[in-house]
Amino acid sequence: MENGSYPFPTLIPLQPGGNVPGNRSDYDPWTASLLSLYSAFGLLATFLGYRVFKALMFLNGFVFGSLIVILIILAEEGSEESIPRWGITLIGLGAGFLLGTITLLIQYVGIFILGFIAGVLAGIASLSALQYSLIYIPTSPWICVVVLLLFAVSSSLANLCFQKSLTIVCSSFYGAAIISATLDYFIEHSVMLFWLWDKIKITVSPEPSWYSWLLLATWPSLFILGFITQILVTGKGTYHERPFERKSRSNPETREERKQRKYRYLYQVRTCHGDVISQPVAKKYVHQVNDESFA
């Protein structure tokens, strides 16, 4: 596998023929720091996800924006000579912060992007499984692009319609994919990531080893674990569109207090009605007494 055949040759360096785990001789500190930040977001999205909805929306836009900008810069010819790696990383972080702010302030944009990314990942997994099992092999990479777009648009629109349930599914799926990708980078320099990319390009790639499959298996395993955790624990009893209650429920009203409040209200009503009725009646008798005295 040649580094030049991938759109991210400098972001994730791959040792030629070196898919031996544990060899960390050419790790870039900027890349490792960025992927460590992504892995923290992956853990947050997988197991908390909907519980921290605002943070999920921001970090979702942050990761998506920074990755897209970094890959676009690295795809340009001669970008590595003109911009150092730390500069590319800082540009990506700035773009990610900007998009993360937008997805935080406009939650429908964040929900759409979350569904879009989850749909793309589901499309990649489906195409790779079909090609590996020889059920269907596309004849052109454009077929893969169309399939990925269909998955992405369908998932994003469905996420807008069923926000809570699919946000839990998409956040667990997306976070598990990030954790699996970062583990793949730190253990064997993204061998499985490049293998998946080869399936999208319809190119032949070497057969992964058993530990590569073990790393890839962390994706569905963490997804199932995170989904169950959010359904039963972290995402239970919360809803992102529930308005804030002005009155605190920390000290609920007791039965005796409720009784006294009711009696006070009835007393005020009777007193008010008595005052209103008694005033004109009293004035009437005063006028009658005065008229009789003059007569």
Residue 206 in contact with residue 41, Cβ under 8 Å? Answer: no
Examine the domain organization and report whether 264 and 140 are in the same domain: no
Neighbours of 151 (CB within 10 A): 21
Q: Output the pLDDT for position 169.
A: 92
Confidence grade of residue 23 (pLDDT, cut at 50, 70, 90): very low
Q: Output the pLDDT for position 10.
A: 37
Examine the domain organization and report whether 20 and 149 are in the same domain: yes
- Whether 195 shows a pLDDT value over 50: the answer reads yes
- The strand ranges marked E within 108-190 are none
Query: Is residue 275 in a domain?
Result: yes
* Sign, Cα dihedral of 120, 122, 127, 129: positive
pTM over 0.85: no
- Whether 279 shows a pLDDT value over 70: the answer reads no
Q: Output the pLDDT for position 156.
A: 93
Examine the domain organization and report whether 271 and 176 are in the same domain: no
Average per-residue pLDDT for the chain = 78
Query: Is residue 59 in a domain?
Result: yes
Examine the domain organization and report whether 278 and 170 are in the same domain: no
- Whether 146 shows a pLDDT value over 90: the answer reads yes
Q: How many domains does the chain have?
A: 2
Instruction: Return the ∠ at Cα 168 (arms to 165 and 171), rounded to 5°.
Output: 145
Query: Is residue 243 in a domain?
Result: no
Query: Is residue 120 in a domain?
Result: yes
Q: Output the pLDDT for position 36.
A: 87
